[in-house]
Every structure is written in C-alpha cells, then in structure tokens.
Chain A
Amino acid sequence: MNLHEFQAKELLAQFGVPIPRGRIAASPPEAASVARRLGLEQCVVKAQVHAGDRAANGGIRFASGPDEAGKMAAELIGRPLITAQTGPAGQQVRWVYLEEAVAFERNFYVAVIVDRATGGVVLTIHDREAGPRSGTTVRLEISGEDVSGDFEKAAAAFGLAPSSASLLAKRLSQIAEAAVALDAMLVEISPLALTQAGDLVALDAKVNVDDNALFRHPDLIALREVSEAEDGDPAALAADRHQINYLRLGGDIGVVVNGAGLALATLDLLREAGGEPANFMDIRTTATSLDIAYAFELIAANPRVRAVLVNVHGGGMQRCDTIADGIGIAVRRTGCAAPIVVRLAGNNAEFAASRLKSYGVPVIGTGDMWEAASMAVELATRKAA
C-alpha cells in the first residue's frame, strides 16, 4: 500500500523526524485558507499522487502568499498529473499539500528498502547534488523492536561538520526505526535537507507498506480505504476482496488462470500466438467458487472481450472443479457472449469438465495449453473481422 506524502510525513514525525509545517487541502479556496491560517508567506503547493518525479512535471509549485497558493491549487486539483512514474494516463490529483518553504544548504537522498538479494533491510544515502555514486549503504540489524546499523559511518561520508554529521546519524537511525516499525517495503526521503539553522528536515517522503503486515497496523488500514477510493481500479479492488488478483489490460482475450506463475506464462503464450490479453488474473488458493464466479463476470462484462481462455492446472489447494463451478455459476447468472476455450489439467480436471457440462456451459476443450491459447487468439481474430 502506497501512502501519500502528507500521510508518510505524519508517520515519520512520530519517530522524531522533523517535517515542515503543512496541511492538506481538497479545493483551491481551502488551499488559500490553509496557507492563510498557517501564516505561510513562501509556501510550496504539492500535488498528492502516489508517484515521484513531481517537481519536474509541475506537480510541485512555489507560491508567494495565500492567494497565489489558491491559484496554484486550482491548476492542480481535479486534473491528472503525468510523470515518468505514473504511466501515460497520469494520476488524478484530489488533494494538494501546503507546506512552508524551507531553504537548505545541503540535501540528501535517503531510502530504506528490503533487499531481496540478501533478504535483509538496507538504508542507502547519497548527496543529491553529487549523485548516487557519492553514497553509501548501511545494512540494518533487527532485534525485537531495536534497529541498529552503522549510521555514524554513513553520516561521516559527506564531509559535514561534526555536529551535523552526528545529527545526520541520529536521523538515519530514526528513519530506519520508522521503516521497520511501519513494516515498510520502501521509505524514501528525498530531499532530507540540512537547513541554515542546522537541522535535518524531511522535505518529501514516500512510504510503501507491506500489505501482508496491515493486520498489525489498524491505523494504516484506515489510510488504505482513503487511498483505494482515490486511485484504485474499482474492479481490481473488488476482485481482491474475492481472493483474486485481477488487472485489466488493453486486449480482447479474457483470461482465467490459477496461480501467478501460470498466469504470467499464459500471457506470454497468448502474445506468442499473436493475441492480446484483456486482463491478468491469478486466482488465489483461498478463492471459493463464488469468488471465481465474480471474477468471471468481470471478464464477461468487459465489452472488448471477444474470446475467453481458461487455463487451469489444479493443484493441491485449488482444484479444477472449484474453478469450473465458478464459471458455471457465472455463465448461468449473467451469460457470456464470447466463446470460451477451456484447458483443464491436474487435480480433478476430468471432474471439472463434467461439472462445466452439467452447468450447460458451451466450451471448446483441449488438454494442451498452447493449442488453447492459439484457439483463443483465432476465435478473437475471427470475431474481430
């Protein structure tokens, strides 16, 4: 789960990391009044989207006084912001964050990430002006609630005065502690600014929290509801509640698959056969036949879908017949205009085929997944012609 800058900053502040004074606003008049109430003469108006590279794309603007802040908010709110990280459609801006402008002498990039290669957590820091090569990496040791690492050594790498270096080491320790306590897959603070007054302040923050750890962060679950309402695909979010990973794509072949690996393999096979998938689907082992029916209906309701490919290899935890039942329920409930090519293998494949038959689902069956993918592509192409 991605957090917004203002949410991430509030959390970091709880661990002692200073942040500039600021507030969120959902409309231009609110933005002006927030700037006025906070007494912000020089303020930064920042679009709140779950993506970086905002500054280079007009998502971060500097305003002199409340009136200008309101004008800038009007240029941001309600429009998509497109950056290198948002994709071509951009992300809709619902809120701006207004914050006092902070002058600084040096500024750093700091990130804490889970390093998949070593299975550890690392903190990385570099001077933003000198570039990533100026940086250093600290491996974190986690013991109960305690997080340790050689932050002094990292802080000494930038030629700072002793008092600043010691403060930097303290900040790095606070950031590391926050990352572990928040179950963050990513904490990125860029810039962490050394101000003229000698403090080290987080001017921007990105936090991504491990979805699998949300059960122990009830406060963050509330933030997720906000984020989801904001920029999630409603179909994908509903499918997620039905134990299915679903992602709509641009093509015309609907895809029903169990397991992420087989799902990725099926997309590869379809492309190899010259087709374009309409969606990605991974049915988790915990999905029931009713969950699967829901997901199948998402595909059947997609007007672009000209053929459906069901590629299922029944395993020990998700058997073919559960998936067949799901398809049967969906087709009886809402029908399916597109032809359905079905390839069933593995656990309970034959039983599943007989279940589909008893539901009266007209299917084109094959035991071979390449043949199934090729047939689905051919049917979709024929229908398009």
Chain B
Amino acid sequence: MAVLAKRATRVICQGLTGRAATYHIGRMVAYGMRLVGGVTPGKGGQRYLDVPVFDTVAEAIAETGATASLVFVPPANAADAMIEAIDAGVELVVCVTERVPVMDMVRVRQRLAGSRTRLVGPNSQGILVPGETQLGVMTTINARRGPVGIASRSASLTSEVVAQTTAAGLGQSTTIGVGGDPVHGLGLADCARLFLDDPATEGIILIGEIGGSDEEEAAALIRQLKPDKPIVALVVGRNAPQQQRMGHAGALAAGQTGGAEAKIEALREAGVTIAPRADLVGMTMRQVLVG
C-alpha cells in the first residue's frame, strides 16, 4: 500500500516526446512505472518509447484507461496542459515543470475546485513509491520501501531525508514533493491527511520552509485530528537572508508572512516533533517510531 500511486497505476505523459521527458520517463519506466501513453498535440497516431501518442488527454484516457498524468510541458503551456488533464477527469496530475507563471496557477486552482483531480506540483520532483513506481524526476538510489511517509516543499531536502531515513533503517512508504511554487496543488496538510489514512505509513515527515502557509495549515489539521501516528517536521530558513520588501500588502494579507519560527511553533503546539537539525531528521523519526 502507498498513497496516490502504486505499481498498477496507469500513467500517461503530457509532453512525452520532449527531450527532458524522454530522458526522465525512461528512468521511471525502468523503475517500474507503468507508462501506457503519451500526449503531444499534432503527433497523435505515432508511437514513442513503445507507447501510443495521442493528440489530446481525453483520447489518451479513453484508449488507455490511464488514471494519472505526468506533465512535462514547458512553462508557457503547462497550465493549459494541467487544465486539459483536469477537464478530462484524470485522477492524479503530477507537474514537474519549473517556472510556471503564478497567474496561470491561479487559473488552474480555479479549475481544480470541485473536480475529481488531485494535482501535485508544479515545480515538484513528483511522487516516489519505493520498489513500486516513480512518477517524478527524483533520484531513487537511497530509497527503500519502509514505513515513513515524506511530504516536502523541497526536492533537495527530500533526497536528503530519504537517504537519512534509509540510513536509520526505516525506509519510505511514499514521498510526495508538493513543489516550491507559491500557488500549487496538494499542500503539506493534504499529504498529512493521506498518510494518516494509509495503513502502510507508520510515521510522517513534513519538510517545510519559510514563506506561504503550508506548515500552518498542516499544523491546524494535526491539532484538530490529534493523530496517534508520530509526525516529525523540519522547517528550514531560520537564517534566510531578509528579502527586500515593497509595499504593505504582504503584511495585511493572511498567509504571506510565514517565518520559520512561527511555523515551528505552530507545528510544535500541534504535537509535532521538530527535528533539531537538518541532518537529524531520520534519527528523530527513528526515536519517535522505534524508541
């Protein structure tokens, strides 16, 4: 068991015939991801990487029965690709594209509301279910199947914490990169909820950073649910360089001002164990999980 994806998950790739997709999808298929089709407008009817290519997501879904789509489309068209997948009723959309305009993501979020789609990303390293499937661009060398669910805003720290939890003899049930962009799909709170409901996940690690309100939302959810599963959090950026400020709107609006200390305090008050340092996340989880 895992969350969001498993070995049997049938996946299409939007932008399959691009250079980055060709390289990374090859790695994912080698890991066990079940690629059943690709979407590149104008290239419908061809075959690529041993799967059929379609002009539209709707066709690809109808022909292949895919339930997940990986979006490898350049920034200018990434939002349209996500919206196409949402409109086609794809259950899981993972977007790895970096530098998608924020206003485009606002449009995507409007379309997501009330849909059946779960969006991971953009600017996400994706989802890894160790030993089963990989819907993303992360390295898998230190990943091992195990009981720890990891949700993170940072790709580099996810690799780090995956290695730490493996070295601590634990391993991972699923890792989810929620992406580093201001407006994104699933947040840390959504991931925490998924992991709490997942029998294969015995402990949860949340990796946060300054800015936004993902950590505060996760803290509010955890405080409300009072789960038995142990949760460990790392929040980085206590010593981040001060950003230049312009205007007062940030301070007036909710959710714009998340400093590291405030996030750590909110999580601690909710009962989350705070990892004392970035190199001690795996050991902290081991202590709360195994004792």
Contacts and interface: CB of A to CB of B under 8 A. Distances in A.
A314 B246 CA distance: 35
Interface string A265-301: 1111111100001001000111000000000000000
Contact of A269 (B98, B153, B237, B278): B278
A117 B241 CA distance: 23
Given A265-B278, A345-B160, A316 B246 contact: no
Interface stretch (B1-9, B32-40, B135-143): B135-143
Interface stretch (B10-18, B57-65, B248-256): B248-256
B155 interface: yes
Contacts of A262: 154, 156-157, 160, 278
18 contacts: A2-B246, A85-B244, A118-B255, A119-B106, A120-B109, A142-B107, A212-B99, A212-B102, A259-B154, A260-B156, A261-B156, A262-B278, A271-B238, A313-B157, A314-B159, A315-B138, A316-B137, A346-B160
Interface in A76-122: 85-87, 109, 111, 113-122
Contacts of A86: 244
Contact of B279 (A87, A261, A264, A370): A370
A262 B160 CA distance: 8
Interface string B225-266: 000000000101111111011111110111110000000000
A315 B245 contact: no
Contacts of A2: 246
Nearest to A144: B107
A313 B76 contact: no
Interface of B: 24, 27, 75-76, 98-107, 109-110, 125, 136-142, 152-157, 159-160, 163, 180, 182-184, 207, 209-213, 217, 234, 236-242, 244-250, 252-256, 277-280
Given A116-B213, A142-B103, A50 B246 contact: yes
A345 B163 contact: yes
Contact of A315 (B139, B152, B210, B280): B139
Nearest to A183: B103
A212 B277 contact: no
Contact of B156 (A183, A270, A315): A315
A264 B240 contact: yes
B157 A216 contact: no
A210 B79 CA distance: 15
Interface string A172-207: 000000001001011010100000000000000010
Contact of B247 (A115, A142, A186, A259): A186
Most chain B beta-carbon neighbours within 10 Å: one of A51, A109, A264: A264
Contact of A51 (B76, B156, B246): B246
Contacts of B154: 259-262
Interface of A: 2, 50-52, 85-87, 109, 111, 113-122, 124, 132, 141-142, 180, 183, 185-186, 188, 190, 206, 208, 210, 212-213, 215-216, 247, 249, 257-272, 277, 280, 284-286, 313-317, 345-347, 368-370
Given A213-B101, A269-B279, A261 B163 contact: no
Contact of B249 (A141, A186, A264): A186
Contact of B106 (A121, A263, A272): A121
B65 to A, nearest CB: 27
A87 B242 contact: yes
A284 B123 CA distance: 12
A117 B209 contact: no
Nearest to A179: B103
B33 to A, nearest CB: 13
Contacts of A259: 154-157
Contact of A261 (B105, B109, B157): B157
A270 B240 CA distance: 12
A264 B210 contact: yes
Contact of B102 (A50, A51, A185, A368): A185
A111 B249 contact: yes
A264 B236 contact: yes
Given A261-B157, A262-B156, A346-B159, A317 B253 contact: no
A132 B183 contact: no
A264 B237 contact: yes
A111 B182 contact: no
Contacts of A132: 252
Given A117-B254, A315-B156, A264 B209 contact: yes
Contacts of A121: 103, 106
Nearest to A135: B252
A316 B138 contact: yes
Contacts of B250: 113, 186
B278 A313 contact: no
Contacts of B240: 264, 267, 280
Among B102, B157, B163, max chain A CB count under 10 A is at B102
Contacts of A119: 105-106, 109, 183-184
A370 B110 CA distance: 43
- What 9 A-B pairs have minimum CB-CB distances, sorted nearest first? A261-B154, A259-B156, A117-B255, A213-B101, A262-B156, A265-B278, A119-B109, A111-B249, A261-B157
